[in-house]
Amino acid sequence: MARDDETTIFTKILRNEIPCHRVYEDDHVLAFLDINPIARGHTLVIPREPAVTLDQLSAESAAAIGAVLPRIARAVMAATGAKAFNILQNNGAEAHQAVMHVHFHVIPKHADGSGLGIGWKVEKLGDVADLAKAIADAV
Ligand code: AMP
């Protein structure tokens, strides 16, 4: 789904109106270095389609990103020497999305500890049979 307002910073990057360090592009996808990296090689992969969140992205763009993400992850690891990486994908301001254009972070985890830190607070699973059914019905 397209936005009404197509003026995020990533739209400007897609239009070549502001510079970036491009590492990959095709008809559907652009990848470039994050301007505020949390690790050397921190890369952003975005669709050309102006969707805000992943759930709004067309199947065509989603497939294009899915096809190229492993390649970009391999390239980031090859170029930086990282042996591990995280994919981070935030949707909505409450979920820490700052730029309202779908993007995937490829974040290498380096031996010096730089990279994504994760706080993972586990909850009890409880009785989720109805929940599983509700999600399954909605897919
Ligand atoms: P998020 O919190 O998932 O929306 O992350 C947005 C990311 O975009 C942040 O990591 C920013 O550092 C990055 N970013 C913002 N502006 C630019 C820019 N002009 N070039 C490259 N990365 C950017």
The protein residue whose alpha carbon is closest to atom 12 in ligand 1 is 36
* Dist CA 83 CA 48 (whole Å): 29
Is 103 annotated in the active site? yes
Q: Does 3.30.365.10 match the CATH number of domain 9-138?
A: no
Where residue 7 falls among pLDDT bands split at 50, 70, 90? confident
Tens of pLDDT along 94-119? 999 999 999 999 999 999 999 999 99
Residue 12 Cα: closest atom of ligand 1: 19
Tens of pLDDT along 52-111? 999 999 999 999 999 999 999 999 999 999 999 999 999 999 999 999 999 999 999 999
Provide φ and ψ at 19, rounded to 5°. Answer: -80, 160
Q: Is 89 in the pocket of ligand 1 (CB under 6 A)?
A: no
3-12 per-residue burial string, b: 16 or more CB within 10 A, e: under 16: eeeeebebbe
